[in-house]
Chain A
Amino acid sequence: KAGVTQTPRYLIKTRGQQVTLSCSPISGHRSVSWYQQTPGQGLQFLFEYFSETQRNKGNFPGRFSGRQFSNSRSEMNVSTLELGDSALYLCASSSSTGQGPSYNEQFFGPGTRLTVL
């Protein structure tokens, strides 16, 4: 199976702009999670989508949003970009069924490196 893919791989934006990142999960996976990775804060959970519904959300401001399509592909959007949004954004997919706790392995994509100037 092809792994998780993320586009674009690199992005440079300026403060105040908005950005959309895309993630294609492993075929058959319906759960997609997003994480932000920075040197200072490490890996932090943004949100998880399952069957087009947001199932879980981390402690990020409303400027961070996401969605999932019927083919399980997911996008995340960051509006009104700030310098502190510069990070590596990782997407992960799993075969979670959405019922109860999920210990299914999460497979990570290569990430999108966002730089905000």
Chain B
Amino acid sequence: AQRVTQPEKLLSVFKGAPVELKCNYSYSGSPELFWYVQYSRQRLQLLLRHISRESIKGFTADLNKGETSFHLKKPFAQEEDSAMYYCALIETSGSRLTFGEGTQLTVNP
């Protein structure tokens, strides 16, 4: 069965510092991975997906199949990045998302 693990429930950094949110997965097939974000009082929304290989709001994530990781990175954190971040995996047989436990990121001024 697929599983997504986010080892840090809480992460606090200062504005301008680099930030890395960790995500590890286990899946027997070839996974497709996503990062979703939930800002305060807003609905869950897609931040970026592995297949697009794009940078959104300065965030990037690289799929490392050897380490089964999909860490989210940003070189210079901003206060508006404070939010709950979820790593998610989609199985190749359908559209079922398996989420990690989430990491609450706080960027301090």
| Nearest CB of chain B from residue A100's CB, rounded to whole Å | 8
B102 and A42 contact, CB distance less than 8 A: yes
Q: Mark A84-117, 1 if CB is under 8 A from B, else 0.
A: 0000001010101000011111111111000000
Q: Indicate whether B95 reaches chain A with its CB closer than 8 angstroms.
A: yes
Q: Indicate whether A28 reaches chain B with its CB closer than 8 angstroms.
A: no
Report how many residues on chain B are interfacial, defined by Cβ distance under 8 Å: 21
DSSP class of A's interface residues: helix, strand, loop or mixed? strand
A110 and B97 contact, CB distance less than 8 A: no
Q: Indicate whether A56 reaches chain B with its CB closer than 8 angstroms.
A: yes
* Bound complex: CA A92 to CA B99 (Å): 14
**Cβ contacts under 8 Å, A43 to chain B:** 86, 97, 99, 102
Q: Indicate whether B49 reaches chain A with its CB closer than 8 angstroms.
A: yes
* From A45, A104, A106, A108, contact of B98 by CB (8 A): A45
- Contact status of A106 and B86, CB under 8 A, knowing A45-B98, A94-B95, A101-B92: no
Instruction: With a 10 A CB-CB cut-off, give which of B95, B97, B98, B100 has the most chain A CB atoms.
Output: B95
Q: Mark A72-88, 1 if CB is under 8 A from B, else 0.
A: 00000000000000000
B96 and A48 contact, CB distance less than 8 A: yes
Report how many residues on chain A are interfacial, defined by Cβ distance under 8 Å: 27
Q: Indicate whether B93 reaches chain A with its CB closer than 8 angstroms.
A: yes
* Bound complex: CA A90 to CA B102 (Å): 16
* Bound complex: CA A107 to CA B43 (Å): 9
Q: Indicate whether B46 reaches chain A with its CB closer than 8 angstroms.
A: yes
| Nearest CB of chain A from residue B43's CB, rounded to whole Å | 5
B residues at A contact (CB < 8 Å): 32, 43-46, 49, 51, 86, 90-102
List 13 A-B residue pairs with CB atoms under 8 Å apart, sorted by A's residue number.
A35-B99, A43-B97, A45-B96, A45-B98, A48-B94, A48-B95, A56-B95, A90-B44, A101-B91, A103-B49, A108-B43, A108-B45, A109-B43
